[in-house]
Amino acid sequence: MSDNIFAKIINKEIPADIIYEDDQCVAFRDVNPQAPVHFLVVPRKPIAKLQDLTAEEEGLIGHLHGVITRLAEQEKIAEGYRVVVNSGSSAGQSVFHLHFHVLGGRPMRWPPG
């Protein structure tokens, strides 16, 4: 089993502002938000990074994206938001448990830094 900070949040060993959970994932607000709305959607399965996905997990990823679209409605950002996955440390990944950032509530620039 993974022993990173997100595993501890999933296992309720440390607190987080959880906005949704089901049998496959947990969503909670980012502790260092980069937009007025910034939450993370995290699979319970301890996959370290996007690049580690296998064909077996394709259904899981579809589920996570359904959760993202429903939470975007719930958080009132459905009109425009950004979904980000940092895969690998050179892309800025700091927690090695797969997570989807969802950011909204302000205009987004392109390209990202």
> Three-class SS of residue 26?
strand
Per-residue tokens: 64 = 């996570």
Give yes or no for a contact between 106 and 36, defined as CB atoms under 8 angstroms apart: yes
User: Of 90 and 94, which has the nearer Cβ to ligand AMP?
Assistant: 94
Q: Taking CB under 6 A as the rule, does residue 32 contact ligand AMP? A: yes
Q: Taking CB under 6 A as the rule, does residue 60 contact ligand AMP? A: no
Indicate if 99 belongs to the active site: yes
CB of 77 to ligand AMP, least distance (A): 17
Closest CA to 42 of 17, 72, 70, 64: 64
Q: Distance (Å, rounded) from C-alpha 1 to C-alpha 77?
A: 34
Catalytic site residue from 63, 65, 99, 101: 99
Residues at the interface with ligand AMP (CB under 6 A): 5, 16, 28, 30-32, 86, 92-95
Among all residues, which ones are annotated catalytic? 99
